[in-house]
Structure 1
């Protein structure tokens, strides 16, 4: 580097001198000066980071070139490396080329890039090499990846940390030597001396005090004194003075004067009350301002002003201005409007605004607001909300279909209710509900209740019974009743009935009729005796005339199927009619009930009596009769 604090260094000539002598330090190829600036280079190649560390370990740092003259000198005396070229102390940080050690950006004056460089050709080319003895672009620079191997190029400075007194001067490199450039207020070979000012020029003012600080010795360069006054007094003049490099103080001594604040006036639309303990509008005076209702203090952050030690009121002179509310707080609600009146001025104290909503929308919040004395509107802007009717639910046992042109269950929504089969609407006079502008449905929420049939329509038939099942509840839809009759009776009508969706039973209750078998007639050449009129349980006995015999069962009965238990018998002629007739009569009697046997025997006796004594006079006046078909005629 050939510049230190912008002072040219003649180290170049010194390097040429030692180069001509051909002095070589063992293990390193480098040129070296005695007490001045010198350049050095490594005997082997390394990447940029290692090169920088090597320079800082053995010398001052990597060479940071500041002008083209230095570039020319380095090209003249540096040998051509066996491999690659020389690293120099430049690196790109955040896209900016910066010299290491100085953290200075590369200046246009010092730029020495080769043709079309830097180009970041291989990407991440953030370090710089310098061509030496290349034969083309000699002394020019090329941006390269920092991982490439090149020769390190270093420098050594003659200035040391203790060359000049720290903080009082700066070391400057010269030919084979260095000097100290002293900062302002210091002098001497190493800047060891400091300028002093007269201490007698610093005195304490009346009603005041002074405090001094001496960073470089008592009343020396940069000593600083600060004046202050007692409470109620203020500085007239500068409150601060400093010992300069000319041995003079920067300002004359000030004085302390009694504090007086500016006069105040009573505001319009308000009042002012003052308290002056030390004098009118003087230090510690207080003035309180109050505005009439609807007015507020303006141009002041406080309603009470206090005259401070600096001669200023703690706030500006207040005045009373009419209260204004924020116009931006009056907003037109969506789907609504607003109208305002302003008796005292636009959106000022007592302004009133009234809100309204479009049809189908309702105000949520206050419909009116007023500008109050607190600068606030009496209520926040309302919103216009879509009129909402209470939510409806789909009924059990039914369906609900809704049409919502504006929103679910809102203004103009319609809902149709339909009940499932076996259910009927109740709690509403209409199956379609409409959400009106008031937020109410035109009727109550319909429900579906199970159809109920009249229980009194289910009657127990004479000689019968009824059994009912109720899957949905007593006598509700789908309830079913089954009718049955006592033994010997049959159902006339439907034996079952069901509660239908029309609230009617599917059929009327039946009756129980006595089971009747087909009527029987006397067989030819025979007779028939029955216990009843051919109804269920009736028993009938057949007999044949003399010389005839019965073919088939002599006794049959009426069954519950309304059929006779056996086919009807008939009488056939037989040679041994009398014997057979007696024999059959006895057999028939043995198989019938006692009553039937007695009737049969009685009949035979009467018949025989008539046969053998037809012409005789009987002692019995009434002749016995033959009863056919029914036992009732015999009793």
Structure 2
């Protein structure tokens, strides 16, 4: 048979008069990383897992549709190829809940069982959360974890500017009961001593705390004053000098009034003479 620029022979299979011109695998007929093998009268393809067909162009696996913008997480051991019988498990990050099937199996028809999973954003404000209260006039600063809503497991870190020191917990975690761990954080002003060392300044209490504080101080002061007066009065009683009382009869039994006065150093009180 004439062909352009030459001729070719149509030979019966196995005829010695004809020979194969070239290797049929040189053209790379196998796709999807299939391996081409020469065989008498043609070639065959050895296909990798998940592919099938004469040239490995048929998909024989369960395909995953991954959207890069999706927050859906594969929590099981991720595989390159899912064959019938393989399973996959999904999850969602904090702030989302899973809609659909959390676990799916690759079926024999190369489709997935269950329903397509997706992560749906939660309305954080309507769920149980920890409330963070900050006074706008306070110098306390959030250095990490600042957000609009704090769900259980979320954390926040505090710090104070120069001239202040932190009292309470520097890191607090939102707990399952919607309460914060640790102690409330606050910034206390720091003063300097004569040697340059910082000394914390105790804040002045206010509100009902101030009333209680000053009531206690006043009670202590009154108690101290009463005890001091009582002790002073007792000292006066103990140190009172002995006084000799003489009647007119006693004075004049031994002599005149003047003589009796000279014979004693004790004060003499003269009663009225009837």
TM-score (norm 2): 0.32
Flag the structure with larger Rg: 1
Name the structure, 1 or 2, with higher relative contact order (CA <8 Å, separation 6+). Answer: 2
Structure number with the higher strand fraction is 1
Structure number with the higher helix fraction is 2
